[in-house]
Amino acid sequence: MKHPRTRVLRKIWRMREELSLVSSINAQQQELLKNYLRILEPCTFRATTFIRAARFRVEAPFIDTQLRRAQSVRLRVCDLDSRLEDVSKHVSRMLEIQQENNGNAIIVFTIVTIIFLPLSWATSYLGMNTSDIRGLAQGQWLFWLIAVPVTTVVIGLAGLVVLKGETIREFFIRREVAKNRQNSAATGIAAKTRLSTRITELSGGRKQAAIMSDNHLWRGFRRRTTMIRGDGEV
């Protein structure tokens, strides 16, 4: 196959779907013939006759022949399906090779664009109506003085993105994850601090309430003791 196309794969998939339907119908036909043969057997009747047995001797070979034909059809369907699977794999590999070639062509086109795009920008910039390069005191070396560094920077940045783009992306992702972890840790520490402060405040309040209660009980005890002593003296 010299020029594989995606539509060829779609056609192969449709053919395999049709073969799958044919195989399913064939399996149902075989099951039907087997059940029919089982029903026609004289031993399945409660009471059989010689006529039924004689007819079965004629019917059984015919049904066996149909079963063998159905099985041969199923084998041919399976063989066609396996061939289509091989063709599908071959077309997929050819498409991958073709896409790789297209990718190489795109890379070449991109490289040419990266080289000439800064030059075009420098030409457009120096050719603006404000002041033409021919009217300047400098010569043509000004164009190359601007174009060459810009082209070098653009090519360097493009190469950095192509070669180290994934590494740079992972670096920023790790940095963002570390920042989120630090924020989460700081939030957790602040929450723990507020919780411990609240517990301390509650504990201090409980202690103060207990002290006030003890003082109140002690004053009541002393008051009752004083009253008892006064009654005794009287």
Q: Does residue 110 form part of some domain?
A: no
User: pTM of the entire structure?
Assistant: 0.43
Measured CA to CA, the distance from residue 193 to residue 123 in angstroms comes to: 64
Coil, helix or strand at residue 175: helix
Contact 16, 81 (CB under 8 A): yes
Measured CA to CA, the distance from residue 79 to residue 59 in angstroms comes to: 30
Claim to verify: residue 86 and residue 152 sit in the same structural domain: no
Boundaries of domain holding 27 = 6-102
Claim to verify: residue 228 and residue 137 sit in the same structural domain: yes
Cα separation values, 1 from 101, 120, 123, 230, Å: 16, 42, 47, 125
Measured CA to CA, the distance from residue 206 to residue 186 in angstroms comes to: 30
What tens-digit pLDDT sequence spans the chain (234 residues)?
555 667 888 888 888 899 899 999 999 999 998 888 888 887 777 777 778 778 888 888 888 998 999 999 999 999 998 888 888 888 888 877 777 666 666 776 777 777 777 777 777 776 665 555 555 566 666 667 777 787 788 777 777 776 776 777 788 888 888 888 887 777 767 666 766 666 665 565 555 555 555 555 556 655 655 655 554 443
Claim to verify: residue 95 and residue 26 sit in the same structural domain: yes
Number of domains in the chain: 2
The pLDDT tens digits for 144-175 are 777 778 778 877 777 777 677 677 778 888 88
Contact 72, 30 (CB under 8 A): no
